[in-house]
Chains A and B, each alone.
Chain A
Amino acid sequence: MSGAIVQLRELRCHFANSEGLLAAVDGVNLDIKAGEVLGLVGESGSGKSTLGRIIAGLQPRSAGDLIIGGQTMPRHYSRRQFKAMSTQVQMVFQDSYASLNPRMTILASLQEPLWSQGVAGTVARDKACYWLERVGLPQSAGERYPHELSGGQRQRIGIARAFIAEPKLVICDEPVSALDVSVQAQIINLLQELQTEHNTAMLFIAHDLAVVRFLATRTAVMYLGEIVELGPTPALFEGPRHPYTARLLAAHLDGNIKARKVIAGNTGKAAGHKAPLATDSGCRFAPRCPMAEPACGANPPWLRATKVDTEAACHRLADVEILKLRK
């Protein structure tokens, strides 16, 4: 099983809507290795959050296999199975307020994951106090309620809660996008420290490319339910092979005042943005792709190795590589 904590095999998640079967996640194959930080980027609606929720057991899959720690997980968990799974996988949510029980004190919220594993009493309490301090909050914060804390402080609690039971994998779904820049930096640094300290694997879901570039060892790019590019973060960011990745990177604003880059003539493309259906054939990015050929719409592309150690799902990969070499 080659050190992979989580293995996804042809994972699908379809929702019925008025137009047919909406394919939120459509045939994803992915391994998350022990101790790695895997970044998952994509626009809203690309299925990145759904993928995270499936792994965390919060959303049943429609088809495919989810293998955690060598065991194939059931589609619907029994209470006992869910408890067993949650010792391995934990999640940090974007909205730290909605993810804490408003009627529980912070200290009680922190102990909850331990209680559910049968650890209670002073052992749990001491551990919660340790974690309170570890994430940089004063002991007095333990007696408070979620509404008494700031957004940054609440997110620290959310992180402590995910790490306290020492899971193998922590899934972070946009953990900093609701926070201010200065607080964002504190939380990102904290996540990185904890990740190295405990060697926990992390699936980091974000739309902020700079944050992913900063944290992730490997990055996966999702577009309309599919992984279109996957590889080591530096290689993927420096030499994007999939036209969608290239476009995403081009749209990122990095604060460089010398090269303003809002792409002219770009408007209107997203207006034709349509939901992915299970019955789609061909490349889903083709309607927006500058390199698309008629053939792109016929068959779905699959992930193939590129010359820079990444994998990209693009019919015109060979041509992209030649273009890159010329530059």
Chain B
Amino acid sequence: MKLLELDNLQVSIGPVQAVRDVSLSLAPGECRALVGESGCGKSVTAMSLLNLMPPAAQTNAARWDFAGRDMRQLSEREWRRIRGNEIAMIFQNPMTALDPTQTIGSQIAEPLRIHKGLSKREARMRAIALLERLAIANPAQRAAQYPFEFSGGMLQRAMIAMAVVCEPQLLIADEPTTALDVTVQAEVLSILRELRESSGTAMLFITHDLGVVAEIADSVSVMYAGQTVETGSLQDVFSRKAHPYTQALKRAVPNMENPHRLEAIAGTPPDLRHPPTGCGFAARCCERMAICDQLPPNFPCESTAAHQARCWLWHPEHPARWRENEQ
């Protein structure tokens, strides 16, 4: 049984079609990485999963099930019982996501008081215990401090504590380590991995850092211009011939073992106010064929296939055919 099944999510904000077709699924306890450049719709997808988009945004999905419920039908009242309780989120910038006028401890305890009905004292004790588990020295003292008294790495841990305190079934982490040093990043990742193993929380891990993906994910979805362009297990996406965009992304990252000239991806992503008719990546793709500009690569994939890519090269009728037609 899948925990989350999202099929053909579309979100438009005014004239911008920020998310054009995103399909995701998550099994309980699975960690899926959502990879892509800024502006590709990763964060909009995450915010939509919590129904936190502004009223001006229009959201549509062919299917959106979470823990056996149809999420499209929920009222705001029901959503409020889910947010922070069953689905929680770690925001990218803890300095702006935490309330500067409340102590760290009371912010971590708040979801427990609201969702689990714990008393102020009990909630506080649980918050302190959690801070201790996240390796914060002097947790009782620290809980009484305000966000400005914490360092970046500690704030991120406080943010994690706030998100996991109710033991959610799904944890959405939006670039939780991007602002951190490598050593602190390693620490935060091991904390997240440990939490996942101990409480079986499924995770949607949003990042643009392929190094982090390799470290923590079981499966990967790559997004480009508002669409999921490739989906598969970590091994599939990293080691096999994949979507040209994924491959280009891998070549653009400096590698410690063999420093080579970086192959930047020429051009810029398309303007999502006027998305292209064909494949969104065609203009920047080094394997572009005539059909790529004409038709979007939306052909039926085998639903059983674990590794899927939205690319004409992957069409079941051999891709070489399209090249022949060109000549």
Contacts and interface: CB of A to CB of B under 8 A. Distances in A.
Interface of A: 43-44, 150, 180-186, 188-189, 207-211, 213-214, 237, 247-248, 251-257, 260-264, 266-273
Contact of B214 (A260, A264, A272): A260
Contacts of B234: 257
Interface string B245-286: 000111011111101011111001000000000000000000
Given A180-B208, A209-B256, A268-B137, A253 B214 contact: yes
A248 B182 contact: yes
B6 interface: no
Contact of B182 (A180, A252, A268, A271): A252
A189 B210 CA distance: 19
Contacts of B212: 253
Contacts of A273: 151
Contact of B193 (A182, A208, A253, A262): A262
Given A182-B252, A255-B253, A267 B38 contact: no
Interface stretch (B82-90, B158-166, B183-191): B183-191
Interface residues of B, number: 49
A237 B263 CA distance: 23
Among B152, B153, B186, B212, the one with the most A-chain Cβ atoms within 10 Å of its Cβ is: B186
Nearest to B262: A185
Given A189-B261, A255-B211, A210 B256 contact: yes
B235 interface: yes
Contacts of A207: 181-182
Interface in B67-86: none
B268 A150 contact: yes
A199 to B, nearest CB: 19
B187 A266 contact: yes
Contacts of B186: 251, 253, 262-263, 266
B214 A185 contact: no
A214 B262 contact: yes
A213 B259 contact: yes
A267 B263 CA distance: 36
A254 B255 CA distance: 7
Given A213-B259, A214-B254, A185 B185 contact: no
